[in-house]
Amino acid sequence: MTSEATTDAGRKDLRSVEAVMDQVGRAQTHFELMAIRFIECSARYDDLLDGKEQEVRIGIADQKAVRRDDLLEVTMRFEFFAPSPVPEEQTKQVALFARIRLEYELVKDRGAVDDADATVFGRVNGIYNAWPYLREFVQSGLLRLGLPPFELPLLRAGAAAHLAGLVDPPTEGRKPAESPATE
């Protein structure tokens, strides 16, 4: 977790874990998770797709949180890349992709919620709530490709905020290639 950063005016830095989690906390009692749906999935085991160095990479792309009346809809694209677990196939790469939609319902009797807080809540909690399903997707996807399973680490809330692109990653004590999933 990052230390509490402040601006010249003494306010919390908006890219700190603490500031983001404050926004999540203000909105979380206002919403109930109604649905999680995979709307597109693909798995691929082939020659290197992106030409990048062979390492495990986990990411969230194209994430959106849209509030419509009493519904907060969060969509995101999950990306998983890993080098081949087969020693004689090191020019190959595993790539798994999933587009996921989560729907949260606004509970009317819990008062009003700020749109900015709702958006941050949706982006962080969307990843956090989808993570167990993504862990299963990676394991079963690799098995369906005839490869040994890989277990995604458990996810902490601060790491979900990082994957959502809302906070800067911690730099002390971590190598550049390490995943932020357990931060």
Please classify residue 131 by burial: count the beta carbons closer than 10 Å to its beta carbon, then call 0-12 exposed, 13-18 middle and 19+ buried: buried
Assess if residue 169 is contained within a domain.
Answer: no
Token pair, residue 83, equals 């080098």
Count of domains forming the chain: 1
Assess if residue 2 is contained within a domain.
Answer: no
Query: Which CATH number goes with the domain that contains 143?
Result: 3.10.420.10
Separation between Cα atoms, residue 111 and residue 29, nearest integer Å: 10
Assess if residue 57 is contained within a domain.
Answer: yes
Assess if residue 179 is contained within a domain.
Answer: no
Assess if residue 88 is contained within a domain.
Answer: yes
Residue range of the domain that includes 118: 22-163
Q: Residue 161 pLDDT > 70, yes or no?
A: yes
Q: Residue 124 pLDDT > 80, yes or no?
A: yes
- Position 134 scores a pLDDT of 96
Q: Higher confidence at residue 61 or residue 48? A: 61
Assess if residue 182 is contained within a domain.
Answer: no
Q: Report the predicted TM-score, pTM, of the whole model to 2 decimal places.
A: 0.81
Residues 6+ apart with CB under 8 A from 117: 23, 24, 26, 27
Secondary structure of residue 104 in the 3-state scheme? strand
Q: In DSSP terms, which residues pair with 59 in a beta bridge?
A: 79
Q: Residue 87 pLDDT > 70, yes or no?
A: yes
